[in-house]
Amino acid sequence: MDSPSDPDNNRAMFSALVDLSHGEFAALAVLVCLAGIVRGFSGFALSAMVMATAVLLLPPVALIPVCWWLEVAASLLMVRGGFAEADRVTVVGLFIGSAVGVPLGLWATTSLPEDASRIVALAMVVGLAVLQLGRLRIPGLATRPGLYGAGVASGIATGLAGIGGMVVALYVLAQNAPARTMRASLVVYLFLSSITSLIMLLAFGVMDGTATARGLLLAGPALIGVWIGQHIFRPSLEGYYRPFCLTLLIALASAGLIRLGI
């Protein structure tokens, strides 16, 4: 027969497993679900949304491995059929570049003080969102060197803040390929790049037991959010989703910077 203290023991064990209070974990679960909704109808920004909102609870070096689990879970849900529609040359070029950039970004993240890494992560979210909202087209990206350069930059952004997808989205803007093809390429790239990212996260000691527990437990809320996002998607409103998401990212990340005293 369970003793009255068992519920307290279970709560204590759970808190020890994720190294968070129940309130902090619940807040993360809500934020992750909302980020999943954004990913479901936009195809990107899951990690960026998590970073913009949760970075005040956990530093980037702790959120990046959690975002890895969330991105893998979302990609498994969304990658179905993507391999057939994706541009393989684009995916491979981005993948190779990312493999070079991820360790550079992780090295910088693990070397910076926590508050400095928070500022860098939030500033990157704001900067990349502003560039996308302004639909800045960088002609140099529509070249073979631009492809590999975008991959390297995406890897660095992944290592610094887990937001490599936002860099690739800028690359997509520079292309004349059909939106459906580039969306599929982005989803497949994020899925494949997770392999090299995991290797680097393990090598840098960032992916540990606590990060794994957090990621696995938060994958459920993320998938629920992705499912909701996919089902509320309406083609007639597609033109409004991206500006709304980017504006929201800018507002949230800017609020975080203000709270950090920037």
pLDDT at 1 over 80: no
- Does 1 fall in a domain? no
Which phi and psi (to 5°) does residue 172 adopt?
-60, -40
Token pair of 58, please?
């956990």
Residue-level pLDDT at 75: 76
Nearest to 158 by CA among 114, 136, 128, 113: 128
Q: What letter does residue 207 receive in the DSSP assignment?
A: S
What is the per-residue pLDDT across 180-214, written as a single tens digit (0 to 9) for each? Answer: 677 777 778 877 888 889 999 999 999 999 999 99
Residue-level pLDDT at 78: 66
Q: What letter does residue 20 receive in the DSSP assignment?
A: S
- Does 213 fall in a domain? yes
- Does 260 fall in a domain? no
Residue scoring higher pLDDT (137 or 157): 157
Which domain covers residue 194, as residue numbers? 6-255
- Asked if 71 contacts 164 with a C-beta cutoff of 8 angstroms, the reply is no
- Does 261 fall in a domain? no
Nearest to 188 by CA among 57, 94, 64: 94
- Does 70 fall in a domain? yes
- Does 97 fall in a domain? yes
- Mean pLDDT in residue range 21-34: 94
Residue scoring higher pLDDT (55 or 10): 55
- Does 221 fall in a domain? yes
What is the per-residue pLDDT across 142-165, written as a single tens digit (0 to 9) for each? Answer: 788 888 998 999 999 999 998 888
> What mean pLDDT, rounded, does the chain reach?
85
In the chain, the number of structural domains is 1
Residue 197 CB partners (closer than 8 Å, separation 6+): 68, 98, 102, 158
- Does 262 fall in a domain? no
Residue-level pLDDT at 83: 66
